[in-house]
């Protein structure tokens, strides 16, 4: 896979998936991404950390990531190896936190309507396309502006900023 | 075209004459806040990228309030990170146990946040300070780290929704009931990315405590900030607390709103939000025979003195139902002391409630009131998500202090009118 191109399975959830179910507060006494990853989605899908493989995707409906400002939520998702979260819409703080740590998040209502749990998809962040492998169906989302693509490539805002400073 | 109070603050803080919705600005922050959950990540980033000093040691505030008094070794280690960093960088507003309170009750009380300020905090309920006529919003740890270094944050200027609460509220209808009803009406993403401006007769008559409660929960509708124009009550509150100059702003008459929502406050009765969403608000009288196991009165939403007074009014001379555990947590040391002076603590203890130290503990399922499988709790906190207060199969019913206290007496969700 070239940079910003990912292929994997879909884990599908519904509306208002909140930060408390993404990473319950009882695990917030650590900042270790691996440990956080081992409890990711625990209160909505207890088997998730064991089932998910690097390159897989979380897809959901409206208002994904609502609730707390805890950056531990996108950190735990990213540390599971999830390539991107695709939803109809995202909560504000989660959206910002995700891009800040370099977790791609994509708004694409059409894809959500058509994709099912377990589907295999390919996502190209360069042009914002999501392809369902079994049918070849292609869904278009708005591609990220170039600087956001660079933030994701570098792994986060701070990595991006420091790589610019040390050029 | 006029500007809203939110736009005016954002314009001033980004050194512009005016700003427009959707515009991206870089703004100076007056206060940047972190707690024992979010600040350790920010400090880690700060140090990892070789930052040497804070942009202003007086403007960075650390409040270890979530897992304190430390509930286990890991949380003690997290708090140590804050303590050592604060000592190293001479952070003026670091609050150790004995001085600490729940951050969003503490900062206004200490005069750290003021009208016209731009405040960011790595805690979603940072929007509380809008009650003072400040722009305040929750962010994550990376944004906090960047602000700790630069003193700035980039923001998209939000569209504003105006909520007009006409009419007088009935007895036992508090700020909590107004905001639960509002979230029920517009939904948990009804104000996503937007500013919620609260106005009208019911807001003018609301105490500052009630206003803090309303702005606190703006984030539960997805809002970037909640805000109320300062009035005499605001100035009265700030008087004697502020240690620096501040400016009050008001929305222009011709300011642009993307929506105006009218709510007749006189028609509302106390509200309860059913699990698992703050948006599931119902009038309390519609709920029958919901037996409960626990009641929590406290948190950044409803742990202030008037919340405790309202609970005491109902609990005075009565006993907590034998099937219920009532936990009361004053939000700050000052609230605790005032509750003591006013005789409220005695009322609570006589009613057989437990009164704990200021902490966010149970609100987020940290400690000091965790629920077992299948248990139901009436809480004056702000979220009733799945697993929020403990076991994923426990349930949280959000309410104001009056409903919470009344329910503690009867052992089921109860209209306060019933027990008086």
ipTM: 0.95
Of B37, B122, B365, the CB nearest to A24: B365
Chain B interface with A: residues with Cβ < 8 Å: 37-38, 40-41, 44-45, 48-49, 66-67, 71-72, 74-75, 78, 121-124, 126, 138-143, 145-146, 188-189, 192-193, 219, 222, 224, 277, 364-366, 383, 385-388, 392
Provide φ and ψ at B29, rounded to 5°.
-100, 140
3 state DSSP class of B163 = strand
Most B CBs within 10 A among A71, A98, A163, hence the mutation to make, goes to: A71
Instruction: Please choose, from the candidates B328, B399, B382, the residue with its C-alpha nearest in 3D space to the C-alpha of residue B125.
Output: B382
- Report yes or no: B188 and B150 within 8 Å, Cβ to Cβ: no
Most A CBs within 10 A among B142, B146, B300, hence the mutation to make, goes to: B142
DSSP per-residue codes, B326-373: EEE--SSHHHHHHHHHTTHHHHHHHTT-EE--S--GGGGTSSSSPBPT
Contacts of A161 in chain B (CB under 8 A): 49, 146
Per-residue pLDDT of chain B (420 residues), as tens digits, is 899 999 999 999 999 999 999 999 999 999 999 999 999 999 999 999 999 999 999 999 999 999 999 999 999 999 999 999 999 999 999 999 999 999 999 999 999 999 999 999 999 999 999 999 999 999 999 999 999 999 999 999 999 999 999 999 999 999 999 999 999 999 999 999 999 999 999 999 999 999 999 999 999 999 999 999 999 999 999 999 999 999 999 999 999 999 999 999 999 999 999 999 999 999 999 998 999 999 999 999 999 999 999 999 999 999 999 999 999 999 999 999 999 999 999 999 999 999 999 999 999 999 999 999 999 999 999 999 999 999 999 999 999 999 999 999 999 999 999 998
Contacts of A20 in chain B (CB under 8 A): 364-365, 383, 385-388
Contacts of A162 in chain B (CB under 8 A): 49
**B277:A100 CB<8 A:** no
Contacts of A36 in chain B (CB under 8 A): none
**A62:B74 CB<8 A:** no
- Gap between the Cα atoms of B120 and B144, Å rounded: 8
- Gap between the Cα atoms of A138 and A142, Å rounded: 13
Q: Strand B152-156 and strand B24-28: pairing?
A: antiparallel
Which residues pair with residue B135 across a beta bridge?
B118
Contacts of A16 in chain B (CB under 8 A): 188-189, 277
Model pLDDT, residue A63:
98
- Gap between the Cα atoms of B102 and B106, Å rounded: 6
- Report yes or no: B311 and B405 within 8 Å, Cβ to Cβ: yes
Contacts of B301 in chain A (CB under 8 A): none
**Residue B57 structure tokens:** 């040691």
3 state SS for A96-137: HHHHHHCCCEEECHHHHHHCCCCCEEEEECCCCEEEECCCCC
């Amino acid at each position: 896979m070239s940079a910003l191109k990912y292929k994997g399975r879909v884990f599908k959830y519904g509306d208002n998936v909140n930060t408390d179910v993404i990473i319950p507060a009882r695990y917030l006494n650590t900042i270790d991404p691996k440990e956080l990853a081992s409890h990711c989605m625990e209160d909505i899908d207890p088997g998730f950390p064991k089932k998910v493989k690097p390159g897989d995707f979380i897809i959901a409906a409206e208002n994904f990531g609502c609730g707390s400002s805890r950056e531990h939520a996108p950190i735990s998702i990213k540390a599971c190896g999830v390539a991107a979260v695709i939803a109809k819409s995202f909560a504000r703080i989660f959206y910002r936190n995700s891009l800040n740590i370099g977790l791609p998040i994509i708004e694409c209502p059409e894809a959500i309507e058509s994709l099912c749990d377990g589907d295999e998809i390919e996502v190209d962040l360069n042009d914002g396309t999501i392809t369902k492998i079994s049918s070849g169906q292609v869904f278009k989302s708005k591609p990220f502006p170039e600087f956001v693509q660079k933030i994701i490539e570098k792994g986060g805002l701070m990595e991006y900023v420091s790589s610019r400073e040390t050029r | 075209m006029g500007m809203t109070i939110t736009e005016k603050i954002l314009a001033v803080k980004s050194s512009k004459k005016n700003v427009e919705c959707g515009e991206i600005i870089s703004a100076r922050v007056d206060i940047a806040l972190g707690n024992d959950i979010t600040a350790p990540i920010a400090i880690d980033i700060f140090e990892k990228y070789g930052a040497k000093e804070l942009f202003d040691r007086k403007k960075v505030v650390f409040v270890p309030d979530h897992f304190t008094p430390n509930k286990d070794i890991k949380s003690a280690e997290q708090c140590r990170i804050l303590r050592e960093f604060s000592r190293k960088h001479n952070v003026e507003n670091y609050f150790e146990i004995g001085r600490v309170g729940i951050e969003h009750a503490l900062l206004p009380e200490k005069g750290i946040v003021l009208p016209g300020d731009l405040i960011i905090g790595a805690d979603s309920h940072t929007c509380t300070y809008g009650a003072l006529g400040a722009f305040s919003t929750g962010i994550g740890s990376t944004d906090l780290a960047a602000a700790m270094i630069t003193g700035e944050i980039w923001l998209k200027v939000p569209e504003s929704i105006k909520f007009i609460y006409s009419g007088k509220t009935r007895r036992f209808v508090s700020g909590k009931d107004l905001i639960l009803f509002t979230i029920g009406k517009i939904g948990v993403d009804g104000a996503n990315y937007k500013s919620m401006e609260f106005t009208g007769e019911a807001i003018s008559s609301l105490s500052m405590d009630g206003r803090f409660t309303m702005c606190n929960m703006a984030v539960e509708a997805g809002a970037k900030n909640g805000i109320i124009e300062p009035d005499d009550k605001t100035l009265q509150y700030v008087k004697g607390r502020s240690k620096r100059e501040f400016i009050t702003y008001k929305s222009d008459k011709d300011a642009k709103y993307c929506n105006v929502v009218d709510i007749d406050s006189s028609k509302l009765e106390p509200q309860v939000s059913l699990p698992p969403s703050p948006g599931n608000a119902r009038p309390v009288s519609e709920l029958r025979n919901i037996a409960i196991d626990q009641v929590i009165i406290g948190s950044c939403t409803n742990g202030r003195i008037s919340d405790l007074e309202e609970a005491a009014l109902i609990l005075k001379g009565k006993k907590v139902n034998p099937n219920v555990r009532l936990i009361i947590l004053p939000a700050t040391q000052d609230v605790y002391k005032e509750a003591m002076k006013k005789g409220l603590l005695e009322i609570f203890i006589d009613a057989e409630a437990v009164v704990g130290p200021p902490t966010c503990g149970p609100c987020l399922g940290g400690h000091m009131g965790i629920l077992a499988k299948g248990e139901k709790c009436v809480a004056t906190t702000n979220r009733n998500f799945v697993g929020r207060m403990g076991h994923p199969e426990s349930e949280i019913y959000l309410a104001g202090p009056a409903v919470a206290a009344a329910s503690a007496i009867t052992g089921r969700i109860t209209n306060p009118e019933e027990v008086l």
